[in-house]
Structure 1
């Protein structure tokens, strides 16, 4: 599955960016700006790639998976367990496409359409993992 392979490729890049930003002042702010910049760039990247390939959301276009995973990992605790949990939860949302992900995937066209379902899947995965973290801390 290209989406899973694409997300897997996003993991070492996440680890690299996370390590690079860890020693900065305000690492979460810089990470947020990084994710926003890659999401905005992704609209153009995905639009351009789909035009070149002459297929909307071609399986070879995986920048959207990169950004979706990076969104999932926002403010995540350090450690491999969270890298894997983020990966799995993001893939579940991206594959199952519950509302509104599926509706966005079907109805929104162009580069923004390619990106938006993965952006929302990443947001939902991030929220899900953070709720689980909160419940674990409360319990």
Structure 2
């Protein structure tokens, strides 16, 4: 995966699949596109969570996951196995992490750090899924697994903060 996201030849940012795959272009920012995508996911999660509660955020995770499988597949057909510019997987993963806590800036920040750590380090079975599961589903699935680690850590932190 590249450290900088780029659009393969023949793809335009105006294409809905590409716009969503890059999360409105954040995957094209220089240096660490996955971190930019995760960061860009936070205000959307906050707004959805505030307006619709955790069921709304859960529904959004499912919708973004399904959409991500499709639009990642479109991107892969034009540019290779897991292009760095595709960050919709980070959006789905980041939102999944945030399901376990209320809207709180500290917890959202901690969730961002925990998710980026799990997504970068890729503990087993995240690393296995990243290597073995291909296509749009593979792009999305390893981030869901990383989100489970990060969500567990965030839930533990939230519980500890409440009991302190």
Q: Shared topology, TM-score over 0.5? A: yes
- Superimposed CA distance per residue, residues 79-123 of structure 1 (whole angstroms, 9 cap, x where no aligned partner): 210110000000000000000101100011000110111011112
**Following the alignment from structure 2 to structure 1, what is the Cα–Cα distance between the partners of residues 161 and 50?**
26
**Count of residue correspondences:** 133
2:139 aligns with 114
Q: Specify which structure has the bigger relative contact order, considering alpha-carbon pairs within 8 angstroms and separated by 6 or more residues.
A: 1
**Following the alignment from structure 1 to structure 2, what is the Cα–Cα distance between the partners of residues 29 and 15?**
13
Q: How far is 1:45 from its partner?
A: 1.2
- Superimposed CA distance per residue, residues 34-55 of structure 1 (whole angstroms, 9 cap, x where no aligned partner): 2111111111111111113x21
**Following the alignment from structure 1 to structure 2, what is the Cα–Cα distance between the partners of residues 59 and 102?**
16
**Following the alignment from structure 1 to structure 2, what is the Cα–Cα distance between the partners of residues 75 and 131?**
10
* 1:15 and 2:46 matched: yes
2:61 aligns with 35
User: Which runs of no fewer than 5 residues in structure 1 stay unpaired?
Assistant: 22-26
1:98 aligns with 123
Which has the larger share of helix? 1
**Following the alignment from structure 1 to structure 2, what is the Cα–Cα distance between the partners of residues 132 and 18?**
19
* TM-score (norm: length of structure 2): 0.75
**Of residues 151, 154, 157 in structure 2, which corresponds to 1:126?**
151
Q: CA RMSD in A?
A: 1.4
